[in-house]
Amino acid sequence: MVGNIYGIDLGTSTIKIYQKGVGLVLDEKNIIAIEKTQDKKRVIAVGNEAFEMHGKAPANISVTYPVRNGVIADLADMQELLNVFLKKMNEGKRMFASEFVVAIPCDITDVEKRAFIDLISMSSANAKDIKVVKKPIADAVGAGLDVKSANGYMVVNIGADTTEISVISLGGIVISNLIPIGGNKFDEAIKSYIRKNYNLLIGDKTAEDVKKQLASAFPTDEQSIPVYGRNLVSGLPVKMDVNSSMVFDSIVELLYSVIDSIKYILERTPPEIASDIIDTGIHITGGSAPLLGLDKLIGKETGLKVNVCDDSANTIINGLGRIIEDKNLSSLAVSSKNIIFYE
């Protein structure tokens, strides 16, 4: 007998958990703060609380993201983080025979895929079964697409460290490509542009704020906001106005790399499916999807219709939720016991 059924989306920047019959029960930053003493490690905060410490912690406290570029880069830290959240969700009680449905990217190695399953099987989840849903499938379901139909769809999930571009038909993946570009890379590009051109070092959170307020896929009317950072020549804290054309210049190359990858996948899409995509257009999901004008730029460069999905940051977890709740979709989740890994 299985107790609760959970869906889990482990992103580079956020961790989300859905509970059957309840809904979204966890939506936090996927980050952990660990205090290191000579012979011990102690978790001092996880999630949003740890995020507040990011960029401010003293040397003995490391604040890190255990998922990087869409894969689990630090299994031990991810384990600690998940266990803290599971404990919180169950108010400290031991978990009873759960089932987990995990969304896993397609274009990664078998070793990387297995790490997602090992993470849950070794956690305090007491999972009787761990099921796997291909991330682009969960994403498409969450975007409201009828993935089991013979209609072909293109879904582009632009997250924090990655963009996953996939073509889907008959409940399966026809082609999928995971590239290391996403919102974090836009933030880094803004940071390095300001450092190179103005000798000003700004923090990660400041760069993200600048992006959210000023980033656009087309040159826009000049808007500016004040930012605070450290001048690398004088070493002193200073204030500077950053404007939208600086932000556009820093990210434009990355945006075109995403577009080149979309074109690469379109060139490799079977013609029958390509004609479906002409009808339905490209579906943009992921937290970075709302970037101003991104849909227009992709539309202009590909000549296709582009749809930005509502609640784009939650399409994967919403899709997992639907797969868990709707019997007609349950075949999209495959038990990890039936998956053969070759590496």
Ligand X SMILES: Nc1ncnc2c1ncn2[C@@H]1O[C@H](COP(=O)(O)OP(=O)(O)OP(=O)(O)O)[C@@H](O)[C@H]1O
Backbone angles phi, psi at 165, to 5 degrees: -110, 120
11 counts as binding Mg ion under rule CB under 5 A: yes
Local structure of 328: helix, strand or coil: helix
Helices (H), the chain: 47-53, 75-89, 110-121, 135-142, 183-198, 204-214, 244-267, 271-280, 294-302, 315-325
Minimum distance of ligand X from residue 127's CB (angstroms): 22
Which of ligand X, Mg ion, none is residue 183 near (CB under 5 to 8 Å by kind)?
Answer: ligand X
176 counts as binding ligand X under rule CB under 6 A: no
Give every CB contact of residue 59 below 8 A, 6+ residues apart in sequence.
none
319 counts as binding ligand X under rule CB under 6 A: no
**CB-nearer residue toward ligand X: 98 or 288:** 288
Which of ligand X, Mg ion, none is residue 216 near (CB under 5 to 8 Å by kind)?
Answer: none
CB 54 within 8 A of CB 97: no
Tokens encoding 289: 């999807």
Which of ligand X, Mg ion, none is residue 152 near (CB under 5 to 8 Å by kind)?
Answer: none
315 counts as binding ligand X under rule CB under 6 A: no
Site for Mg ion in 133-162 (CB under 5 A): 159
Which of ligand X, Mg ion, none is residue 70 near (CB under 5 to 8 Å by kind)?
Answer: ligand X
244 counts as binding ligand X under rule CB under 6 A: no
**CB-nearer residue toward ligand X: 4 or 157:** 157
Tokens encoding 165: 């571009």
Q: N- to C-terminal Cα distance for the chain?
A: 32
**CB-nearer residue toward Mg ion: 152 or 159:** 159
Taking CA atoms, 159 is separated from 16, 57, 61, 185, in Å, by: 14, 26, 27, 10
Nearest of 180, 186, 158, 295 to residue 247 by alpha carbon: 186
152 counts as binding ligand X under rule CB under 6 A: no
281 counts as binding ligand X under rule CB under 6 A: no
Site for ligand X in 95-124 (CB under 6 A): none
Contact positions vs ligand X (CB under 6 A): 11-14, 70, 159-162, 182-184, 208, 211-212, 286-288, 290-291, 313
